[in-house]
A = this chain, B = another copy of it.
């Protein structure tokens, strides 16, 4: 009988340009918030896991596990950094779950942190391409917006998605983020604003893209035995992770992300649920088209039918399948932190304390993607 794992504390910094805070500051702030939320002390923590994509390039710092443990005063506990590009946060969380299931610890912290705005000029864009294939994607001058633009063009052509329909994704997410106190932006956009914004990589405009963000998030995980000591534990019902080719050109299809499908299948099976049982989801909308493909990969609609789901407005918080109730990555995407930030939101949703609370949410899902889909990690959470 596998052990069960619960989340009992969550914390998150504001997403944005933190000129006055270092990566150390941000990770410690998120961790302290999570500890306070759980009502425990740092000395209770037995191990630390941190997701970070590219601090080596952003700020010249590797060895992020020890950095975070040191700054938080948690040494000599084991401290592990996990990396899978923009899926680093969910990866760190997954390894934390594993460590508890292996019987090694009863109470650990899983965090994600990224400081992206210290690097000059196009440096952040170049660093982000480390998530793709340097030999095949990077060497021909592709940026990440370029990679997703290629997918957007192929998807629009194949499934008849219009530019207007695609623009509905950022419109929804900006609306959801309007009252999110952690969001990098708090303004609404209209469909025309999205379509007429500066072109980044045709057909994607500035408003189709998630921003460059500094931020961190942390959660406290405990074993089933320890969970009894906490009020309102939120259980990890399922976890799935999958890989795909690093280079976009080697994919079998440009209009679907197969790693999402593999990871979701595993997570749904482990949780013993189906897509229609999910009450609320945080999906990886690094670009508007990514959310469209996530709807299909996660089974929220059939292949090619995302446009109908968009039209129905069922992915708004009061719809049948609310997606990104906090505004998603569009409201801040500190790459290595994003996967944990998504979990923070879903835990709040299942506790019933989210800012944009989805009514009667009992089962929540997080979906975190690395690069153009070479990694996908899906987690499913539930309340008692």
Chain A: residues with CB nearer than 8 A to chain B? Answer: 2, 22, 24, 48, 53-57, 59-67, 69-71, 74-85, 91, 95, 97-99, 101-104, 126-127, 129-135, 138, 241-247, 250, 258-259, 262, 370-371, 374-375
With A62-B131, A95-B98 already in contact, 7 other A-B pairs whose C-beta atoms are closer than 8 Å = A61-B130, A65-B84, A69-B243, A75-B243, A82-B82, A82-B83, A98-B98
Most buried by B among A22, A62, A126, A259: A62
Closest to A250 in B: B70
Taking the nearest CB of chain B, how far is it from the CB of A317, in angstroms?
Answer: 32
Q: Which residues of B contact A63 (CB under 8 A)?
A: 83-85, 130-132, 246, 370-371, 374-375
Closest to A95 in B: B95
Is there contact, CB below 8 Å, between B245 and A75? yes
Is there contact, CB below 8 Å, between A76 and B138? no
Is there contact, CB below 8 Å, between A91 and B83? no
- Chain A interface helix/strand/loop/mixed: mixed
Is there contact, CB below 8 Å, between B134 and A75? no
Taking the nearest CB of chain B, how far is it from the CB of A315, in angstroms?
Answer: 26
Q: Which residues of B contact A244 (CB under 8 A)?
A: 66, 70, 75-76
Q: Which residues of B contact A54 (CB under 8 A)?
A: 56, 62
Is there contact, CB below 8 Å, between A53 and B60? no
Q: Which residues of B contact A247 (CB under 8 A)?
A: 70
Q: How far is the CA of A84 from the CA of B250 in the complex (A)?
A: 31
Is there contact, CB below 8 Å, between A242 and B62? no
Q: How far is the CA of A80 from the CA of B80 in the complex (A)?
A: 12
| Interface residue from B82, B102, B126 paired with A80 (Cβ < 8 Å) | B82
Is there contact, CB below 8 Å, between B134 and A59? yes
Is there contact, CB below 8 Å, between B70 and A246? yes
Taking the nearest CB of chain B, how far is it from the CB of A62, in angstroms?
Answer: 4
Q: Which residues of B contact A246 (CB under 8 A)?
A: 63, 66-67, 70-71
Closest to A240 in B: B78
| Interface residue from B24, B98, B127, B133 paired with A56 (Cβ < 8 Å) | B127
Q: Which residues of B contact A55 (CB under 8 A)?
A: 130
| Interface residue from B81, B99, B102 paired with A83 (Cβ < 8 Å) | B81
Q: Which residues of B contact A101 (CB under 8 A)?
A: 101-104
Is there contact, CB below 8 Å, between B75 and A84? no
Q: Which residues of B contact A56 (CB under 8 A)?
A: 54, 56-57, 127, 130
Closest to A270 in B: B104
Q: Which residues of B contact A80 (CB under 8 A)?
A: 82, 84, 91, 95, 241
Q: How far is the CA of A66 from the CA of B374 in the complex (A)?
A: 6
Taking the nearest CB of chain B, how far is it from the CB of A203, in angstroms?
Answer: 25
Q: Which residues of B contact A60 (CB under 8 A)?
A: 126, 129-130, 134, 138
Is there contact, CB below 8 Å, between B243 and A74? yes
In the assembled complex, 19 residue pairs joining A and B whose CB atoms fall closer than 8 Å, in A order, are A57-B57, A60-B129, A60-B130, A62-B83, A62-B131, A63-B83, A63-B131, A63-B375, A65-B243, A66-B85, A66-B245, A66-B371, A70-B245, A70-B246, A75-B243, A76-B262, A77-B242, A95-B98, A101-B102
Closest to A77 in B: B243
Q: How far is the CA of A138 from the CA of B370 in the complex (A)?
A: 30
